[in-house]
Each structure stands twice: as structure tokens, then as C-alpha cells.
Amino acid sequence: MAKIYNWGILAPGNIAGKFVTELKDLETARVMAVGSRDLPRAAAFAETHGIERSYGSYEALVLDPDIDVIYIASPHVFHAEHTKLCLRHKKAVLCEKAFGMSSLEVADMVETARVEKVFLMEAFMTPHQPSYQEARRIIESGLLGEIRHLHGWFGFNRSPYDVSRRLFNPKLGGGALLDIGLYPLFDALWFMGEPIQTEAFADLTDLGIDQSVTASMLFNGGKTATIFASFFSAVGVGTDIYCEKGALRLRRTSTLDQWLEILLPGEPVKTIHYEQSSCGLKMEAAEVMKCLGENRLESAVMSHQSSLLLSDCLDQIRKIAGINYQ
């Protein structure tokens, strides 16, 4: 019989609700507890999602002896603190992106996991998705030749915005780059490696928050990438990969609705749609439990090195574009 892993949810909220809903699709996962700094909030979340235990502090959550792994969904300014709290209580951790506020924080989190000998993974959905796995297989097969350029974007417009809330709050690490810009940036790194040169520009609010950000990168061999993220441009999310002999288009309208398009000159566009059961946030959880079952301390799909490289490149873009957090 397969082991059932008991999950704890640290910080109930919108993304945590989506994660818990999808987690119910996995037979080896059971959401046992939720912790919040506000007990009524934790209790309400528990009642909504059928969770048996609720705690009014994060400390009480990590002290629950029945919890195997904790999903951290607090604002990313708190990720380092909360991750280390869990790791030091020997709880495996799946922590939402952005993993930390800086590469220094991410390095500290990874080192804590190494010292404590506890599993740690950034909750980054895309590399677990079948569309991304297939895109990489196609690239590595040589069908399209080498990548020459990648363009990725993520944008939405739900204005007017409340500047007191997280997206525009500098004290909570608000801004397009850390909230959504890291998705197209991750794509560039995942498919092309580490850039050798970066340029970046940001449209900043009066409080210095990047409401839109653009970056361009140069890679070895003359390969290039451009990324765009915005809270004021309703462009959706996607990535185009331009190769020597054709192109790939990665698209999604939600975590569960994803598809891949393959373009070859003189041929009809081939579109691959994926079943909801093979997509979503639950793929992160499935990878965590797979790694725990194999006694691994990190994932080969979303490795510590991937998170370190991503955070380092985010630091570079912030510095170049003049983005600062208070």
C-alpha cells in the first residue's frame, strides 16, 4: 500500500485554496492541518476545505507530530523565515515562489535544508507540466534545431488597484517581477541556461514598485531571450521558442488548461492539449511525495540549483532596472 503523506498548510489564502483543492486529486496526499496567525481565519479555511485541524500560529502547525510536509503560501517576504521554521522542526517544505526576496535568502534556505537534512523545493509549477516536459524533449531531439530566441510574457489588468494590498506593497515585496515576471524568466533559464549579459527596464510607481518590467538576455552562442511582465497589460501568459528549423508555443489559460503548439515550415500547426489530470499545482505535490518516497532531499525537476540561478537572475534584473524593496 502506498504511503499517505500528511500535509500542513502554512498561511491560508487564495493560492493555498487552489493548491488544497487540487491536492484532493492525489490518493497519496491528505491535508491534515492549516496554520495562520489568525485562528478564526485558519478555522474558516479548514471548514471550507474539510481540514480536520486548524492552528492560530505557525509554531503550533510545525509542532504537530503527524505532519509530514508543509506547503508555505505566505507572502514571499516571509518565505525565508517560514521555511527555516519548518525545516528546523524537521518538516519537509514546498514553498511558493518567489522562493525568497534575494539570492542571499534563497542560499540561506538551501543551506538550512542541507544542514537539517530535510527536503526543500520551490513551488514552481512549469517544469513539472507535461507541455514543458514535451517541449524540452522536442528541443533535445534536434527536430527543430538549436534555440535562437525565446520570448516569454505574463500580464493582467485588474485595475484599479488597492496600493495597500500585497501586489503594490513594497514591504511585502510587491511588484510584477517577483509575482509574475519570474515565470518567463524561469522559461529562459530552463531552456537556455545561464545568461552572460542582461538588460532590464521597469515602469515604477511612486513607491518604487514595478508595475511592468522588461528584460533582455544574451546567452552563449549568440542566443537571446526577452521577457515581459505587467500588472497593466492584459496579455495573458505564454512563451514562444524560436529555433533554427521551426518554433514552439507554450500556452495556458489556467494551471489546469495547458497546450503546446509545434510549428514547422510547410506543415500544419500541430497542437497538443493536455488532460487536466496531468496538469496543475498538484504536480508539484506529486513530485515532493515522489522525492520523499525515494529519501531525496531535493528534486531533480526543480532543483536547489534552479532556484539559486533564478534568484540570482532576479537580483540582477532588480539592480539594473532600479527596483528596490523596503
Residue 236 belongs to domain with CATH number: 3.30.360.10
CA distance 127 to 137: 12
299 is a domain residue: no
**276 and 140 share a domain?**
yes
**105 and 213 share a domain?**
no
**168 and 313 share a domain?**
yes
Q: Which of 125, 157, 182 is the last residue of a domain?
A: 125
- pLDDT (tens, 9 = 90+) of the chain, 326 residues, equals 789 999 999 999 999 999 999 999 999 999 999 999 999 999 999 999 999 999 999 999 999 999 999 999 999 999 999 999 999 999 999 999 999 999 999 999 999 999 999 999 999 999 999 999 999 999 999 999 999 999 999 999 977 777 777 888 888 888 999 999 999 999 999 999 999 999 999 999 888 889 999 999 999 999 999 999 999 999 999 999 999 999 999 999 999 999 999 999 999 999 999 999 999 999 999 999 999 999 999 999 999 999 999 999 999 999 999 998 76
Catalytic positions, written as ranges: 97
**164 and 94 share a domain?**
no
Q: Which domain holds residue 242?
A: 127-281+309-321
**227 and 313 share a domain?**
yes
Q: Which of 125, 149, 182 is the last residue of a domain?
A: 125
CA distance 237 to 190: 17
pTM for the complete prediction?
A: 0.96
**Residue 218, C-alpha cell as written in the block:** 544574451
286 is a domain residue: no
118 is a domain residue: yes
301 is a domain residue: no
189 is a domain residue: yes
> How many structural domains are present in the chain?
2
CATH code of the domain in which 42 resides = 3.40.50.720
Q: Which of 110, 125, 140 is the last residue of a domain?
A: 125
**149 and 267 share a domain?**
yes
Phi then psi dihedrals of residue 81, to 5 deg? -60, -50
145 is a domain residue: yes
**181 and 113 share a domain?**
no
296 is a domain residue: no
304 is a domain residue: no
**200 and 276 share a domain?**
yes
Inter-residue contact 56 to 79 (CB < 8 Å):
no
Q: Name the burial class of residue 14, with classes exposed (0-12), middle (13-18) and buried (19+) by CB atoms within 10 angstroms of its CB.
A: exposed
CA distance 20 to 128: 17
**97 and 139 share a domain?**
no
**164 and 258 share a domain?**
yes
**12 and 76 share a domain?**
yes
Inter-residue contact 193 to 221 (CB < 8 Å):
no
**68 and 154 share a domain?**
no
